[in-house]
Chain A
Amino acid sequence: MKTLYIDPVPRIDGDSRLLIEIDEGGVIKKVEYQTLGINNFYHALKNRLIEEIPRIITALCGSLSYSHYIASTIATENILGREPPEYAVALRALAVYTEVIEDHIRSFYTKVLPKHMGSIDISSIPDYAINMLEYLRGIKQVIGGKPIHPVFAIPGGVSRSLVKEELDKLKKLVNDLGTYIERYRSDVRKFYEELLYTKELREYSARTYNISLVNGDKPSYIGGRLVILDPNGNSLTIGLSEYSKYIEYRYTPSSTTRIAYLREKGWHGYTEETVVRTGALARVNIASSYTSREALEERNELVETYGSLPVHSIFFSPWAQLVDVLEAYSRIRGSIDRLENLEASIANLEGLLSTNGIGIVDSPRGLIIHNYSVNDNLLVNEIDITTATEINIAALNTDLNKYGIGKKYTEKLLSTLYQIIYFYSPCSTGSIGR
């Protein structure tokens, strides 16, 4: 038996490696994606002023800094018992929708497509994709000041309203972005025509649970209710604060990321029927209605192509991300209209204090859950942050094993294993620790 370490896994945020065990005949016996980064954020946050937490927490993940920042702000304002005004809600939602689009576009054009084309460097990223990423970076800067580590929300609202020049700039950037959305849509479709050409990939599946936020039957990126969908498609809807009754965690010596699993199912390793997926594919499986007609069309065609619901093939993830992008883009337009027409009431500082607050955002890569407790001085004395990677890492390893084990190790196979990792877009900076 030979053990290979692919270190680092290219194009992933943070340090991670891929362990592959191969027998004498070159056949794969085990695959494991292992994260190596340590953020240790628990100790950076403990005993800090509660109002400083959202700004500190952005460094937990630069790629999803807006999503973490909003989840943290919501957890903080829940402790302060504040209800943000509609204007603030719309501006924060705009920020999260922007990050949903940015992360998916980035994943497709900088990881998935270059790997599919056999490119090993950034040169293959088309100029229009770079333009899209620049527009998205610009939109984030208008909303949050900086492209990463935003500074625009306060517990109970936002720090100020957008002035006319900023709204005009925002509209222009959103319109410019819109000119490329169809191009992206056709690139994703073309990718599928090529990817799903083989019978093997068309028929691949790994049955998992799914978890995401919904509002009614639509995907909800902020707020709403949590839905857990079992592998047979039966759903359980729970309140946001109830998540901890359903999710349990464990550590493994081989990785710095804590593994989240369903308490009721228990931990059974990287096995189908027990692990959970979150993110774009989970949203497609759980939400059945969309604001955008195009998003609904793509979602229905995706499901039809796979053949049933829930969709259990991670190879459909970039397509599910396209559904997200179309939906989020439509919602961005709606948010801008609201910001133009709403009274610019930016924050509400009134509220009844409580000792615990939870903030949940269904980020591009899936659920992130911030849960804080405070003492009488409003210093944080307990923190727990569940990341999308913590939820997905068991499902990711289940997919790697299901796809890889029993096959001969080749460069082509390794390339497909990379793709499976890219479809989950994990962050390898580890868990916050304790």
Chain B
Amino acid sequence: MIGVKPKLAVVHGTSCSNFSYIVGYRTAKELAEKYDIVYWRGVVDKGLDALKEIEGVDIGIYVGAVKTNRDLEKLLLLRRKARRLVAYGTCAVYGGLYGLAALHQLNQGSGGSGENKLGLLKVIKPVSSVVEVDILVPGCPPSDELVEKMLKALMEGDSSKKLIAGDRSLCSVCPRKPGSSDTIEMPGLKRLHEAIPDEGKCFLLQGIPCLGPVTAAGCNLECIRKNTPCAGCMGPARGVEDMGLRYISAIASILLVSKEKQLMPPGLSKEMDKLPELTSILYKYTLPTSKLFKLNLKRRGIE
């Protein structure tokens, strides 16, 4: 219908900020001009009733983790109303940094009993484990390039690509990628505060954990450009089911390979002990979607 704007609703779960600030106010204002905004805290002064009362919206964007009963209720409402649903940001797609509290929440959450005044769910959930999602946009925050791709897909009604991220791993697009003649060996392990990385060299070849081999590309390489190793905020690269397990496997094949015979397993194990905690390295953004966490749920009989 000519002249009728598509309807858009933006709902926030547990998120670090407002979607208008995360994407920038220029983009937010453009969206407000192109769409009829039914609900978007920070952009129009309408309560959630506006979304409850409307028959449906063309696009729903859910921002943040599903961590509380309130988040869950809002997500279910948005799914009921939205013809197409976007899970925006790594918190929505994989649980994100909030997911690092997942194990604790498992022990403390109310499971929706209402007894817990905080209303914490027992399990921090990625949006796609609760409802059907049409478009997933990871990133902490998603890069301008991914936001542009998402907006284009929404405007054109393109539903061919569900996950808007790079097709390859971060390593494959990294300017520090070792040359074919370089020996790929990790010369021991260093904690991040123990070294100032050489700006031109692969972090792994300097002994610094970098999640590039298992992380999807598409982030615009901001961390790498700032001489900071990848922490995995884009989530798993294509073909990687569990970031942590795949990463350990990758590291095991390059860590001190030339000294493997002298060191033997006890020596290599001692090297690994230099990292006394691995969750914040391996699963900084994806703990609730990891195999280990799911195993934990299964053991406790939680769906």
Binding site for B on A (CB under 8 A): 6-8, 10-15, 36-52, 55-56, 58-63, 65, 76, 80, 106, 110, 120-123, 125, 129-130, 133-134, 137, 141, 144-149, 151-152, 154-157, 159-160, 253, 256, 346-347, 349, 377-379, 429, 433
Contacts and interface: CB of A to CB of B under 8 A. Distances in A.
B226 A15 contact: no
Given A51-B191, A110-B25, A121-B43, A15 B70 contact: yes
A286 B15 CA distance: 34
B174 interface: no
B270 interface: no
B14 interface: yes
Contact of A121 (B22, B37, B105): B37
Given A125-B29, A149-B141, A44 B17 contact: no
Contact of A40 (B42, B98, B226, B276): B98
A120 B45 contact: yes
Contact of B222 (A44, A80, A146): A146
A61 B16 contact: yes
A159 to B, nearest CB: 4
A123 B30 CA distance: 9
A159 B43 contact: no
A121 B32 contact: yes
Interface stretch (B128-136, B162-170, B248-256, B278-286): B278-286
B111 to A, nearest CB: 15
B47 A145 contact: no
Contact of B277 (A49, A120, A133, A156): A49
Interface of B: 12, 14-18, 20-22, 24-26, 28-29, 32-33, 37, 41-48, 67-68, 70, 91, 96-101, 104-105, 117-120, 140-141, 191-197, 199, 222-223, 225-228, 231, 275-277, 279-281, 284
Given A40-B105, A125-B29, A154-B193, A10 B17 contact: no
A11 B120 contact: no
Contact of B279 (A48, A65, A146, A159): A48
Contacts of A59: 16, 91, 96-98, 140
B226 A152 contact: yes
B17 A148 contact: yes
B41 A11 contact: yes
Given A12-B41, A65-B16, 6 more contacts: A44-B100, A125-B29, A134-B24, A145-B228, A146-B222, A433-B118
Contact of A51 (B68, B97, B193): B193
Contacts of B33: 123
Most chain B CB neighbours (cut-off 10 Å) among A38, A157, A160, A256 = A38
Nearest to A45: B100
A8 B248 CA distance: 44
